[in-house]
Amino acid sequence: SGMAVIQAFSRERAFQAEFDGMNEANRQANVVAQKLSSIFFPAIEFLGIVATGAVLWAGAYFIDAGTMEIGTVVAAVGLLALVFQPLQELSELYGQVQAASAAMDKISSVLDAEIDIADAPGARPLGRIDGRLELDRITFAYGADPVLHGIEIAVPAGGCIALVGESGGGKSTMAKLIARFYDPFSGAVRVDGTDLREVELRSYRRQLGVVLQDPFLFSGTIADNIRFAKPDASDQEVYDAAAAIGVDRVAARFEHGLDHVVREGGSGLSAGERQLISIARALLADPRILILDEATSNIDRPSEILIERAFDRLLAGRTSIIIAHRLATVRRADEILVVEHGRIVQRGTELDLLAQDGAFRRLAQTLHRDVLPSAFPAA
């Protein structure tokens, strides 16, 4: 962990340098902009005054000579103002247009950021799904080295599977394929028998809940963050979801409770607290398929017990994929799959697997007793 600190530190310095550089560039750009506008505005104003003066001067001369009425001069001055006022307003507007188009660039770079996976031409919207899930001979690689080799998984609608195994085995990659953050190289992920590549992504993701190991919170209140996936939820619904997961206990720590404002990324909250909030978010969203990837890994024991109780409600009636290190969390699955080096090396119920001399038993032995499942009954 000393290494992590050093890495974090040197990264910070790099970011600081980059930030300083951008600040300096921004300052210089602002100085140039200010210089230009401090020339431009007065120049236009000066021109206006000179022109008015010239008209008045010429007017006085012609009136004196008796060739012009005073009304004509007044009208000419009025017309001049009509010309210069919009010119001035235009130059002010120009600044606003520049700022707006810079903002537009930023917005579109954000909007464009996440289209690694695009809808295929002719993709169909997916209606409400039952949640039958099928991974059919999936292979996948991020780079040159294959990460998954011929993965076969079938989950009936409403079923629950758990993926366990040492880190780097490919569990999260499977979760990402199910959520269609990536498409498989060969094979197919099917929901209710439909290949995910044939459906509109939005219509699928709307029915999907994903809780990741290090969840991201948006700037806004805790309640906003829970409501995120279901914007029309009532305060009562948000409160119920929070209470079911134990977020109300987290909120109690703050003066404004659920209305406590978190900053972007969720700083000021522990990783476990952010996980609790994102689990409440998933509960409120009421998805048809729920993926929990190490969703309770940073949660302290008392909160975890609370969540264990909420799991029944969280998982009821939906297809769920649980990835966990703690065997206590995976015991509720209908089937546990042990993943090693991109392959499923064992599958079965907890009792089946404990009865065999295999990967699962080895895995169970590496874990603390307090998280060992029914090998230690009466829990």
Ligand X SMILES: Nc1ncnc2c1ncn2[C@@H]1O[C@H](COP(=O)(O)OP(=O)(O)O)[C@@H](O)[C@H]1O
Q: Which residues bind ligand X (CB under 6 A)?
A: 142-143, 147, 165, 167-173
Q: Least distance from C-beta 276 to Mg ion, angstroms?
A: 19
DSSP readout, 70-115?
HHHHHHHHHHHHHHHHHHHHHHHHHHHHHHHHHHHHHHHHHHHHT-
* 169 contact choice in Mg ion, ligand X, none (CB below 5 to 8 Å, kind-dependent): ligand X
* 168 contact choice in ligand X, Mg ion, none (CB below 5 to 8 Å, kind-dependent): ligand X
Identify the three-state secondary structure at position 288. Answer: coil
**Residue of minimal Cβ distance to Mg ion:** 172
- Residue pair 282/229 in contact (Cβ under 8 Å)? The answer is yes
Query: What residue has token string 């079923």?
Result: 159
Closest to ligand X by CB, 88 or 297:
297
Site string for Mg ion, 44-83 (x = CB under 5 A): ----------------------------------------
Number of Cβ within a 10 Å radius of residue 7: 10
Q: Least distance from C-beta 342 to Mg ion, angstroms?
A: 13
Closest to ligand X by CB, 189 or 310:
189
- Residue pair 59/53 in contact (Cβ under 8 Å)? The answer is no
296 lies in the binding site for Mg ion (CB under 5 A): no
Q: Least distance from C-beta 321 to ligand X, angstroms?
A: 12
- Residue pair 151/159 in contact (Cβ under 8 Å)? The answer is no
Closest to ligand X by CB, 161 or 269:
161
329 lies in the binding site for Mg ion (CB under 5 A): no
* 275 contact choice in Mg ion, ligand X, none (CB below 5 to 8 Å, kind-dependent): none
Q: Least distance from C-beta 179 to Mg ion, angstroms?
A: 13
Residue of 53, 25, 57, 337 lying closest to 171 (CA atoms) = 337
Note every long-range contact of 92-101, with CB atoms under 8 Å and residues 24 or more positions apart, other chains counting. Answer: 95/33, 95/37
* 173 contact choice in Mg ion, ligand X, none (CB below 5 to 8 Å, kind-dependent): ligand X
Quickly list H helices, 67-221: 70-113, 171-178, 201-205
* 366 contact choice in Mg ion, ligand X, none (CB below 5 to 8 Å, kind-dependent): none
- Residue pair 99/37 in contact (Cβ under 8 Å)? The answer is no
Under rule CB under 5 A, which residues in 158-217 are in contact with Mg ion?
A: 172
Binding residues (CB under 5 A) for Mg ion: these are 172
